[in-house]
Structure 1
Amino acid sequence: MTNQADYDVVIIGGGPAGATAATDLAGLGRRVLLLDRPGRIKPCGGAIPPRAMEEFDIPESQLAARVHSARMVAPSNRYVDMPINGGYVGMVDRGPFDEWLRQRAAKAGADRRDGTFTRLSRDADDMAVVHFRPAEATDRNTEECVRTRAVIGADGAMSSVAKQCIPGAKELPHVAAYHEIVRAPTARAEAGAEASTSTSTSTSTSTSTSTSDYDPTRCDVYYQGRLSPDFYAWIFPHGDTVSIGVGTELKGFSLHDAVDRLRRETGLDQCETLRKEGAPIPLHPLPKWDNGRDVVLAGDAAGVVAPASGEGIYYALLGGRLAGEAVEAFLATGNPKALALARKRFMKDHGRIFWILGIMQRFWYRNDKRRERFVSICDDPDVQHLTWQAYMHKRLVRARPAAHLRIFFKDMAHLLGIVSPWQKASRGAK
């Protein structure tokens, strides 16, 4: 073991969570090592809400596309278009976006190393020692180590740091995600213009089977058991490229076959395939994020991916910031209890939303009959407005109690079978 050095904090993982924590702590004058395994791009739809761009100073130049609507496709192939009136959702390509975040951390003063974390040990002073295999090493047995006062594990789902240091991390359930990045088809410019200015919803009895229906300003989400038995499939625009993917927790289900089927049925099988990627996505936050000593988790390693939607970039950015704040408090006071602040603050602000989304996923994604009803409910203007408000601003909307009450009665009508799918439940109450 060579190159022993001292750091205030070693951050393992250079995705949105790790890079954000590195930027914040380095900006405070802390000695930071950002250790990242190179060459890996996480399968990701790439959506980030305006709030993420505002809170984390992300320039619009990092966006590969701007989405102005979402299309929700039911098992029957009927669909609902949900326009984002007066706003948009940004789409990023995780390869260049994550690298930009890492470069920002380096500019803030963090040291960058490419390597793979192997284990954590203790020295004679009981200080944490991070062992890793440097990326440039030709011998797999080559190992370097650094001493550090604190460790942030931001090394993704199935985190090695979490498994070694945090009780219960090995049992965290995951959804398997897989996507293929293809070259975007030539889209009709007028289709994008119509989507960005539309103020109404629409339904259809079938989906298009040609790339002429592809809209570079619209995300398509497929709630169909044949494509995903317990989650969903997607077609998300990334400017010059498109992400076509699927997720499921069901073992034995072929994600590759599902993506092949979706590409054939939409005509996107004619587009050039640029790369294929797969990775696990955690289903819910871990009950504990720190070891009560000097290690805390962030991002996917902590399980902060929103149920039902699978959204993770905003929550990873936030988790990295909260982990950085907790580590700064720990370094300033020497009190390891400060590390628990990361989870406490996150769950205070977002725990209720995660709980509600978890219930939605378990109930509505159970079978195609319920998925059909779920998509039909999305045709409701109240549902659309509150859904986008909650997504864009990352909070439950409380300003329209009458709308919440209407949605409650409409949902109950669907749950009790009082109305059929696609029937406008209580629309006249508005």
Structure 2
Amino acid sequence: MTGSADFDIVVVGGGPAGATAANDLAVQGHRVLLLDKAGRIKPCGGAIPPRLIRDFDIPQSLLCAHAKAARMIAPSGKTVDMPIDGGYVGMVNRDTFDEFLRERAAASGAVRQTGEFERLENNPGQPSVVHFSDETGQARSVTARYIIGADGARSKVGKQTIKGAEKIPCVFAYHEIIAVPETAPEDFDPVRCDVYYQGHLSPDFYAWVFPHGGTASIGVGSAQKGFSLRGAIKDLRAATGLDHCDTVRTEGAPIPLKPLKRWDNGHNVVLAGDAAGVVAPSSGEGIYYAMVCGREAASAVREALATGQASALKLARKRFMKAHGKVFWVLGIMQHFWYRNDKRRERFVQICADPDVQYLTWQAYMNKELVRARPAAHARIFLKDMGHLLGLSPS
């Protein structure tokens, strides 16, 4: 590539994936522009595991709550408590959490620019031109050697540059942030995440009530067209006694549940985060995987810059899937089988009462890897799982 560029890399999107990529590259001394829309907050339960806190140096001051347990609610109303033995789930507010990540990238040397990506113009042998509109709506452009598209599930960067990116399957999520009164309803626990596996609240996913200190996230996801997400939240708030709480804000967005088969265009673009489809099936967890993906995208771009070989961009997906592909596969199977109908959801919640399931679930969540240290537990879970699936286990 000949000719000078304004930036080595333009990162489009300032969520966890984009901000992490921008920070990692800026720390390495690269010229980075972080282009992000103003005022957008993604609907999200806001749960992060201890490993994320360790790996990405997240200060405890960003945690608005420490969840010490989860409660699974079956279609019948039966509940299963899953306490976390010796650990916790960190809860964050996405407005302050994402802004912290963007500010950290800026402190490392990245240039922040508020604006919306419009299109990418590629010229043979020359740096690419990134066209965007700034916060005033004025058309602007900069040149860059590489572009990281971290602009969400309906990524403009992906649609314009990578074949198949526009076909990414999604669950549509909606949540309402409410102010929790000093005297909260008896059923609400400020250190517990409640997950509802009930078909009337979500026919193919789940609904949730997650504590956030002085607020709470009440949300739902579904891929079924025509299903009323707002109606489900209205019903959930009424059922939990949270219908009279003040609503702070509402948000909705598509959430991808399957990694794209290709993340790069073989030339100068690589995707990260929701744009690459790295939200875990079954659980819908995205923050940790987005940040890992952003880090892998940054690493791949760094190698491409150092070697001049655009083929290095493929390393982002290769490395991510090597580390996490098996987990995504297992969770995808779980969602496919257990979220189909209320009969299966009832059995799924029943399985969650098993001590082996609880131990392995929390260990895998907190450490982000499949637990291999207890093969006997895995064998017992497999046999119980098949028994539930085939209807051989008692209800």
Q: Does the TM-score normalized on the shorter chain lie above 0.5?
A: yes
1:132 is paired with a residue of what secondary structure? strand
Give the structure 2 partner of residue 403 of structure 1: 377
Give the structure 2 partner of residue 101 of structure 1: 101
Q: Is the 8 A contact 1:179 1:246 kept in 2?
A: yes
1:124 to 1:401, Cα distance in 2 relative to 1, 3 A: closer
2:275 is paired with a residue of what secondary structure? helix
Greater CA drift, 124-133 or 164-173? 124-133
1-structure distance, mates of 2:379, 2:196: 28
1-structure distance, mates of 2:330, 2:120: 36
Q: Which runs of 5+ in 2 are unaligned?
A: none
Q: Is the 8 A contact 1:187 1:214 kept in 2?
A: no
2-structure distance, mates of 1:186, 1:84: 26
Structure 1 residue 419, shift from structure 2 partner? 1.7
Structure 1 residue 323, shift from structure 2 partner? 0.4
Instruction: After TM superposition, list the pairs within 5 Å mapping 1:2-151 onto structure 2.
Output: 6-123=6-123, 125-137=125-137, 142-151=138-147
2:142 is paired with a residue of what secondary structure? strand
Instruction: After TM superposition, list the pairs within 5 Å mapping 1:197-212 onto structure 2.
Output: 211-212=185-186
1:322 is paired with a residue of what secondary structure? helix
Structure 1 residue 385, shift from structure 2 partner? 0.2
1:380 to 1:124, Cα distance in 2 relative to 1, 3 A: closer
Instruction: After TM superposition, list the pairs within 5 Å mapping 1:182-261 onto structure 2.
Output: 182-186=178-182, 211-261=185-235
Structure 1 residue 20, shift from structure 2 partner? 0.5
2-structure distance, mates of 1:409, 1:310: 26
Give the structure 1 partner of residue 281 of structure 2: 307
Give the structure 2 partner of residue 192 of structure 1: none
**Could you tell me which amino acid in structure 2 is paired with residue 412 of structure 1?**
M
One of 165, 177, 202 as aligned partner of 2:173: 177
2-structure distance, mates of 1:185, 1:224: 26
Structure 1 residue 407, shift from structure 2 partner? 0.8
1:243 is paired with a residue of what secondary structure? strand
1:106 is paired with a residue of what secondary structure? helix
2-structure distance, mates of 1:388, 1:240: 25
2-structure distance, mates of 1:390, 1:283: 19
2-structure distance, mates of 1:300, 1:285: 9
One of 357, 364, 388 as aligned partner of 1:390: 364
Task: Say if 2:308 is the partner of 1:334.
Answer: yes
Give the structure 2 partner of residue 201 of structure 1: none
1-structure distance, mates of 2:234, 2:124: 55
Give the structure 1 partner of residue 391 of structure 2: 417
Structure 1 residue 212, shift from structure 2 partner? 1.5
Give the structure 2 partner of residue 199 of structure 1: none
For residues 311-361 of structure 1, what are the alpha-carbon distances to aligned partners after superposition, in whole Å with 9 as ceiling and x for unaligned?
000001101100000000000001011000000000001001100100100
1-structure distance, mates of 2:60, 2:215: 18
1:269 is paired with a residue of what secondary structure? coil
For residues 99-142 of structure 1, what are the alpha-carbon distances to aligned partners after superposition, in whole Å with 9 as ceiling and x for unaligned?
010000000000000000000002464321100000123xxxx3
Q: Is the 8 A contact 1:9 1:150 kept in 2?
A: yes
Structure 1 residue 5, shift from structure 2 partner? 6.3
2:243 is paired with a residue of what secondary structure? helix
Give the structure 1 partner of residue 255 of structure 2: 281
Q: Is the 8 A contact 1:304 1:315 kept in 2?
A: yes
Q: Is the 8 A contact 1:185 1:214 kept in 2?
A: no
One of 271, 290, 302 as aligned partner of 2:245: 271
2-structure distance, mates of 1:395, 1:286: 21
Task: Say if 2:331 is the partner of 1:357.
Answer: yes
Instruction: After TM superposition, list the pairs within 5 Å mapping 1:341-380 onto structure 2.
Output: 341-380=315-354
Structure 1 residue 187, shift from structure 2 partner? 5.3
Q: Is the 8 A contact 1:155 1:301 kept in 2?
A: yes
For residues 179-216 of structure 1, what are the alpha-carbon distances to aligned partners after superposition, in whole Å with 9 as ceiling and x for unaligned?
0000013357xxxxxxxxxxxxxxxxxxxxxx122111
For residues 162-191 of structure 1, what are the alpha-carbon distances to aligned partners after superposition, in whole Å with 9 as ceiling and x for unaligned?
000111101111100000000013357xxx
**Could you tell me which amino acid in structure 1 is paired with residue 112 of structure 2?**
R
Q: Is the 8 A contact 1:50 1:392 kept in 2?
A: yes
Q: Is the 8 A contact 2:273 2:293 kept in 1?
A: yes
1:413 to 1:123, Cα distance in 2 relative to 1, 3 A: closer
Structure 1 residue 386, shift from structure 2 partner? 0.2
The percentage of aligned residue pairs carrying the same residue is: 66
Q: Which runs of 5+ in 1 are unaligned?
A: 189-210, 422-430
2-structure distance, mates of 1:287, 1:229: 27
Q: Is the 8 A contact 1:75 1:372 kept in 2?
A: yes
Q: How many residues align?
A: 392
2-structure distance, mates of 1:35, 1:57: 23
Q: Is the 8 A contact 2:153 2:168 kept in 1?
A: no
TM-score normalised to structure 2 length: 0.98
2:119 is paired with a residue of what secondary structure? strand
**Could you tell me which amino acid in structure 1 is paired with residue 92 of structure 2?**
V
2-structure distance, mates of 1:217, 1:131: 45
1:419 is paired with a residue of what secondary structure? coil
Q: Is the 8 A contact 1:187 1:215 kept in 2?
A: no
